[in-house]
Amino acid sequence: MSDSTTVRIDRRTHEDLRRLAEERHITVSEAVARGVRLLRQEQMGQQLAGPLADDERAWLDADLR
C-alpha cells in the first residue's frame, strides 16, 4: 500500500462514497482519486471555455498578420 493519510468527511458522505466504490468494484481510495480527477477535468474545461487572454489571442492571430 502506498503512503496514506486521513481525510475527515461526514458520515453520510462516507456512506455514499463507500456505496459508490462498492458498486464500481473499486476501493474507497480509488473512488476519491477518480473524484479528484473529475474535479480537475471540470476545472480545465471551465478554463478552456473562458475568454482568451490578450497574449493567447495574439499568438493565435500571429499568422494572420
Nearest to 29 by CA among 7, 48, 61: 7
Q: Residue count of the chain, please give it.
A: 65
Would you state the cell numbers that stand for residue 59, as one nine-digit string? 499568438
Per-residue pLDDT of the chain (65 residues; tens, 9 = 90+): 579 999 999 999 999 999 999 999 999 999 999 999 999 999 999 999 999 999 998 998 887 76
Q: What is the pTM of this model?
A: 0.73
Domain extent listing, the chain: 11-64
